[in-house]
């Protein structure tokens, strides 16, 4: 309570500073104005530089994201293309096997004799397969014997120099994929590639080959659907040796070699099964991004590429969208800063004219208020001090005369005199405590973070309780604010801590816990003057001797104490309860003999912002530390 009484005494010094032209407080508004203008200037520069930096960093990250996204899309597309190509090749191998079964054990002469019927049967085999362009059979001498598309076949044409014919003569090779160009299939000259299968007799001897042509238009249709017909994509089907089997967009001539093709050929030569290859340079528009994958069961690769120029166009479209939002916002913020800077300068000129008048008026009002406070406090204090000191002077003077003229040496008589002198001293201290207890409102209420107050005074609590008492704080994250006097809150917590020390006989554990609680409507009537709603709870628990019910029910009563004479006034818990009640809350006690005590303080929630710079613990907390522990009942530990 002394801290609350001492604070107004600083007002005269503050007033003197306010009216003194040379004081630091007189110059403070000028410094604040200069700081505001400087801040606005920095903000104005920031509205130009920061968006540029953010745009550069964001543009780079966006390009990386677009590049990575394009690579992911290509990888997914090439996986789909690889699966489709595998199915196409599986279909052609199966068709070749069916044609070989259809021919059975017929000799070459029998094949020639039955050419028309066999041609029709083979044509029916591939009729419902759009991916199969044609199929024909070549005998062991390299002469064509039957075809699904041509009747009669040209028996003079020699096919013995074909790559697939030569390769399939080796019994270790059963299937061969070969690329040809510009053969007439049904009257249309198109590039295509073939899947050839070895024919052999029961003894394993070579009897010729079955050739099935893969439809070029079917491949073109598939890739056109997969890639959306976009000219920014290219696709290829290649053998392991780099021979191009099919290409999208479809062309009658092989495509011109590119840097990406050379890198792809190197990757295939290195036996790499899949990956992504980039050619060209970033932001140059040349080059491309190519994803490739090897088929699982065939020596064939599938690749899909996309030009860098297309990726950059997509990135530029994204950046244009960002710029459409960010540029107007930056310009608006810059204009707002310019307007604020202009208004600030204009306001400073007007404030400069009124600053002296305001300072003088504030100083006069502060002096008047201080004089009134000092006069009222002085009158009250003088009256109490005069009357009470007169009584104490008479009592203490008579006791001193009695002690001086007492001729007896009886010890108990000396004891009575000492007790009377001690009572006079305690009466003086009790007057100070009574002045604090009868105050009807908080000294300096403000929005307070209880966790911050407890954390700030933790060292004082530990020092006051001694080394044999363990102190534990369980603070709740996100605790609500309360509207109280922080000095009185510190005094209340320290008061409870010192009471707990006495209840634990100097050894035990003290726990301070905070929490957010909500009081329901049904519980509110149990505490008159307290409404339902959000509250902040502070629990102070000890491991002391506890309280019996009859002591617990009277613990908050003024002047109630169970301690021996001279050990307490019974105002400790009464002061805590009065503080919490004045703040709109309430207190409860949970205690049983032998099981410790928990004091629960409930303070109503305050919606606002905590005030920083709360004064450090001062005379109020120190005053409580000097004697708060003397006011609790013996069974009260916190």
Residues with Cβ within 8 Å of residue 230, at least 6 apart in sequence: 310
Domain that holds residue 546: 439-630
Residues with Cβ within 8 Å of residue 281, at least 6 apart in sequence: 287
Q: Could you tell me if residue 530 is inside a domain?
A: yes
Q: Could you tell me if residue 542 is inside a domain?
A: yes
- Residue 328: the pLDDT is 81
- Residue 260: the pLDDT is 66
Question: Read out DSSP for 212-235?
Answer: EEEPHHHHHHHHHHHTTT-TTEEE
In the block, which residue shows the tokens 């002061």? 575
- Residue 630: the pLDDT is 40
- Residue 354: the pLDDT is 80
Which residues sit opposite 214 in a β-bridge?
Answer: 132, 193
Domain of residue 572, CATH code: 3.30.565.10
- Residue 482: the pLDDT is 93
CA distance 597 to 510: 10
End-to-end Cα separation, the chain, in angstroms: 20
CA distance 103 to 147: 12
Segment holding 239, helix H or strand E: strand 233-239
In the block, which residue shows the tokens 């970033």? 282
pTM of the prediction?
0.45
CA distance 638 to 632: 9
- Residue 527: the pLDDT is 59
Residues with Cβ within 8 Å of residue 398, at least 6 apart in sequence: none
CA distance 537 to 481: 11
* Domains identified in the chain, total number: 1
- Residue 94: the pLDDT is 92
Pick from 322, 273, 309, 302: nearest CA to 70 = 309
Q: What are the residue ranges in the chain where pLDDT is below 50?
A: 1-29, 370, 374, 378, 382, 433-437, 439-442, 613-638
Q: Could you tell me if residue 528 is inside a domain?
A: yes
Under 8 Å between Cβ of 13 and 367 = no
Angle at 235 between CA 233 and CA 236, to 5 degrees: 160
Distance of CA 220 to the CA centre of its chain: 49
Q: What is the CA radius of gyration of the chain?
A: 50
Q: Could you tell me if residue 72 is inside a domain?
A: no
Look at the chain and count its residues.
Answer: 638
Q: Could you tell me if residue 453 is inside a domain?
A: yes
- Residue 248: the pLDDT is 82
In terms of Cβ atoms closer than 10 Å to its own Cβ (0-12, 13-18, 19+), residue 180 is: middle
- Residue 426: the pLDDT is 59
Q: Return the SS3 of 563.
A: coil
Pick from 389, 395, 615: nearest CA to 487 = 615
Q: Compute the 3-state secondary structure of the chain and give helix, strand, coil in percent, each to the nearest 5.
A: 50, 20, 30
Q: Could you tell me if residue 537 is inside a domain?
A: yes
**What CA–CA distances, in Å, run from 82 to 63, 73, 77, 331?**
28, 14, 9, 51
């Amino acid at each position: 309570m002394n801290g609350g009484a001492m604070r107004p005494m600083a007002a005269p010094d503050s007033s003197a500073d306010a009216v003194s032209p040379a004081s630091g407080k007189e110059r403070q508004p000028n410094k604040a104005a200069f700081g505001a203008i400087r801040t606005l200037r920095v903000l104005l520069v920031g509205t130009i530089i920061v968006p540029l930096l953010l745009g550069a960093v964001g543009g780079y990250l966006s390009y990386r994201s677009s590049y990575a996204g394009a690579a992911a899309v290509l990888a997914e597309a090439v996986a789909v293309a690889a699966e489709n190509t595998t199915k196409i090749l599986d279909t052609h191998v199966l068709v070749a096997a069916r044609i070989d079964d259809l021919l059975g054990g017929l000799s070459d002469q029998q094949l020639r004799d039955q050419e028309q019927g066999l041609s029709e049967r083979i044509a029916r085999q591939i009729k419902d397969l759009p991916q199969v362009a044609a199929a024909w059979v070549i005998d062991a001498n390299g002469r064509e014997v039957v075809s699904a598309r041509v009747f009669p076949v040209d028996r003079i044409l020699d096919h013995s120099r074909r790559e697939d014919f030569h390769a399939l003569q080796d019994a270790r090779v059963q299937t061969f994929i070969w690329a040809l160009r510009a053969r007439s299939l049904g009257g249309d000259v198109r590039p295509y590639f073939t899947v050839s299968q070895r024919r052999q007799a029961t003894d394993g001897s070579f009897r010729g080959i079955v050739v099935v042509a893969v439809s070029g238009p079917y491949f073109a249709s598939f890739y056109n659907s997969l890639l959306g017909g976009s000219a920014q994509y290219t696709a290829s089907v290649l053998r392991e040796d780099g021979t191009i089997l099919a290409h999208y967009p479809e062309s009658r001539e092989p495509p011109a070699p590119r840097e990406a093709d050379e890198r792809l050929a190197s990757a295939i030569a290195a036996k790499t099964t899949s990956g992504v290859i980039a050619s060209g340079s970033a932001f140059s528009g040349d080059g491309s991004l190519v994803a490739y994958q090897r088929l699982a069961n065939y020596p064939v690769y599938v690749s899909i590429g996309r030009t860098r120029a297309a990726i950059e166009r997509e990135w530029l479209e994204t950046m244009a969208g960002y710029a459409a939002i960010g540029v107007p916002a930056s310009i608006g913020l810059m204009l707002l800063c310019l307007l604020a800077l202009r208004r600030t300068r204009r306001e400073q000129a007007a404030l400069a004219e009124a600053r002296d008048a305001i300072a003088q008026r504030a100083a006069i009002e502060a002096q008047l208020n201080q004089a009134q406070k000092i006069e009222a406090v002085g009158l009250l204090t003088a009256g109490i001090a005069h009357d009470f000191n007169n009584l104490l002077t008479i009592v203490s003077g008579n006791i001193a005369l009695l002690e001086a003229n007492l001729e007896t040496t009886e010890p108990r008589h000396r004891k009575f005199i000492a007790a009377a002198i001690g009572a006079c001293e305690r009466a003086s201290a009790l007057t100070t405590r009574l002045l604090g207890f009868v105050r009807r409102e908080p000294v300096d209420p403000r929005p307070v973070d209880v966790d911050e107050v407890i954390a700030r005074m933790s060292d004082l609590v530990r020092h006051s309780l001694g080394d044999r008492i363990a102190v534990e704080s369980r603070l709740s994250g996100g605790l609500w604010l309360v509207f109280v006097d922080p000095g009185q809150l510190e005094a209340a917590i320290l008061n409870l801590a010192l009471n707990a020390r006495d209840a634990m006989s100097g050894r035990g554990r003290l726990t301070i816990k905070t929490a957010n609680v909500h009081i329901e409507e049904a519980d509110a009537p149990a505490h008159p003057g307290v409404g339902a709603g959000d509250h902040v709870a502070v629990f102070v628990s000890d491991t002391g001797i506890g309280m019996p019910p009859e002591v617990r029910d009277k613990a908050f009563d003024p002047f109630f104490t169970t301690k021996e004479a001279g050990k307490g006034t019974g105002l400790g818990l009464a002061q805590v309860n009065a503080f919490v009640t004045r703040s709109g809350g309430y207190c409860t006690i949970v205690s049983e003999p032998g099981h410790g005590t928990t004091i629960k303080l409930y303070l109503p929630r305050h919606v606002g912002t905590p005030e920083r710079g709360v004064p450090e613990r001062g005379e109020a907390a120190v005053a409580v530390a000097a004697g708060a522990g003397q006011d609790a009942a013996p069974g009260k530990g916190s």
